[in-house]
């Protein structure tokens, strides 16, 4: 959702929807519509803004827009379309504009969807398009059918990202959680997209599907890889881009798209990626030290593996963080993919800092660390984390 070149990890994340940004939005809309009530809009949009978090600010500014723009959505859409002629009508402040279109234009999909198509290159509209998927599915998919062939990578990505069943921070699309086949048909048309921006969305979409339909996700990924061999030698090159299945691109999408299944040790996903869950691998040493640390400190994980035959391995480690009521929730981290040579002891080492991040609070208590090789737990150790 973040515009290119802008980081999303700032502690002042919400302040990107600021009085200064609102002032710039008012200036753009005044240019597009000389009657735009700048002072009224600015007062409504900034009053109470400081007390709100990011999403609250987005909704607050969108409601102020609704009060300032004409009551007729078609007329308002024309003003916003005119504002798109200004290059500086861009960035984080477009987020409330998207929200306005999604909520106040929901009964006018024939007007709102083309406007979303124009806005998405300024600020990705994957959140804004989701209500239209739910309430106007046939019409929205008609637009998807056009957008998927667009020269604009932002529009092609919107088709894929906007229809993700479990888009982070977005409302879940329950119909696609139950039956993702309509979106798989979209992914089939986007899997060979020339844009990495789009292909990453395809992989993330497949990962969403894998959480509810693991067998279907593996089946889809298997088909994509099989098509590489079927079409090999028949691909054409247009403007320097491969037209048809590209082996490297598809393998990356499959690997990234099945990552949740791989972390969970799913045998089908592991086999598809070349890792045998039944391979005989021996753990010759393992330790997690020190045995007691404070929140924010690091623990060193060291292990050694051997195998009798040449064996591809995916080595991960899982940490079961202590919960507020002794409940543990595992988090799997990638360690290394490699090939064990026959009879050769291979060493692995990783320093992992037990610290709080925006999506995870660390509680004092015992933390279980497990070593996972090709989906199987080979060893475990417990460290004590102090405040």
Domain boundary among 223, 249, 272: 272
175: buried, middle or exposed (CB in 10 Å: 19+, 13-18, 0-12)?
middle
pLDDT at 12: 76
**How far apart are alpha carbons 184 and 227 in whole angstroms?**
15
Give pLDDT tens digits for 211-223: 999 999 999 999 9
Report yes or no on 4 lying in a domain: no
Residue 10 to residue 14: CA distance in whole angstroms: 9
Percentages helix, strand, coil for the chain (3-state, rounded to 5) are: 45, 20, 35
Is 326 buried (19+), middle (13-18) or exposed (0-12) by CB count in 10 A? Answer: exposed
Domain ranges, residue 307: 282-386
User: Domain check: are 229 and 287 in the same one?
Assistant: no
Domain final residue pick, 272, 303, 331: 272
Q: For residues 154 and 248, state if they share a domain.
A: yes
Are both 267 and 329 inside the same structural domain? no
Q: Is the pLDDT of residue 80 over 60?
A: yes
Same domain, 74 and 173: yes
With a cut of 70, say whether residue 8 has pLDDT above it. Answer: no
Tell me which range, 210-214, 233-237, 361-365, is most confidently predicted by mean pLDDT: 210-214
Exposed / middle / buried, residue 297 (Cβ in 10 Å: 0-12, 13-18, 19+) = middle
Name the β-bridge partners of 236: 243
Query: pLDDT per residue over 155-169, tens digit each?
Result: 999 999 999 999 999
Co-location of 264 and 294 in the same domain: no
* pTM for the full predicted model: 0.89
- Beta strand 292-294 pairing with 376-386: parallel
Average pLDDT over residues 87-113: 97
pLDDT in tens, 173-183: 999 999 999 99
**Do 62 and 173 fall within a single domain?**
yes
* 8 A C-beta contact, residue 183 and residue 175: no
197 and 220 share one domain: yes
């Amino acid at each position: 959702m973040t515009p290119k070149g802008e980081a999303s990890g700032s502690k002042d994340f919400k302040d990107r929807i600021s009085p200064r940004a609102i002032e710039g939005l008012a200036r753009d809309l005044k240019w597009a519509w000389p009657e735009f009530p700048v002072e009224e809009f600015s007062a409504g949009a900034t009053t109470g803004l400081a007390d709100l978090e990011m999403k609250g600010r987005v909704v607050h500014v969108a409601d102020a827009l609704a009060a300032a723009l004409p009551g007729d959505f078609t007329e308002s859409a024309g003003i916003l379309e005119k504002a798109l002629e200004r290059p500086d009508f861009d960035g984080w402040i477009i987020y409330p504009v998207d929200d306005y279109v999604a909520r106040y234009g929901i009964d006018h999909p024939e007007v709102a969807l083309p406007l979303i198509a124009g806005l998405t290159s300024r600020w990705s509209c994957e959140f804004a398009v989701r209500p239209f998927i739910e309430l106007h599915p046939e019409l929205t998919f008609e637009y998807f059918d056009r957008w998927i062939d667009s020269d604009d990578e932002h529009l092609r990505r919107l088709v894929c990202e906007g229809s993700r069943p479990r888009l982070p921070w977005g409302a879940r699309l329950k119909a696609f959680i139950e039956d993702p086949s309509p979106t798989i048909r979209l992914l089939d048309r986007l899997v060979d997209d020339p844009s990495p921006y789009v292909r990453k969305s395809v992989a993330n979409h497949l990962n969403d599907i894998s959480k509810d339909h693991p067998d279907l996700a593996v089946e889809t990924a298997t088909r994509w890889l099989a098509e590489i061999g079927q079409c090999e030698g028949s691909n054409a090159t247009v403007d320097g881009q491969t037209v048809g299945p590209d082996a490297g691109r598809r393998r990356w999408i499959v690997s990234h798209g099945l990552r949740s299944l791989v972390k969970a040790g799913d045998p089908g996903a592991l086999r598809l990626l070349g890792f045998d869950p039944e391979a005989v691998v021996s753990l010759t040493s393992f330790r997690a030290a020190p045995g007691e640390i404070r929140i924010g400190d690091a623990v060193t994980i060291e292990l050694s593996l051997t195998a009798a035959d040449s064996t591809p391995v995916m080595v991960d480690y899982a940490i079961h963080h202590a919960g507020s009521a002794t409940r543990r929730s595992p988090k799997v981290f990638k360690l290394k993919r490699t090939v064990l040579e026959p009879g050769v002891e291979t060493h692995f080492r990783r320093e992992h800092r037990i610290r709080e991040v925006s999506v995870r609070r660390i509680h004092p208590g015992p933390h279980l660390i497990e070593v996972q090789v090709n989906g199987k737990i080979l060893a475990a150790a417990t460290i004590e984390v102090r405040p």
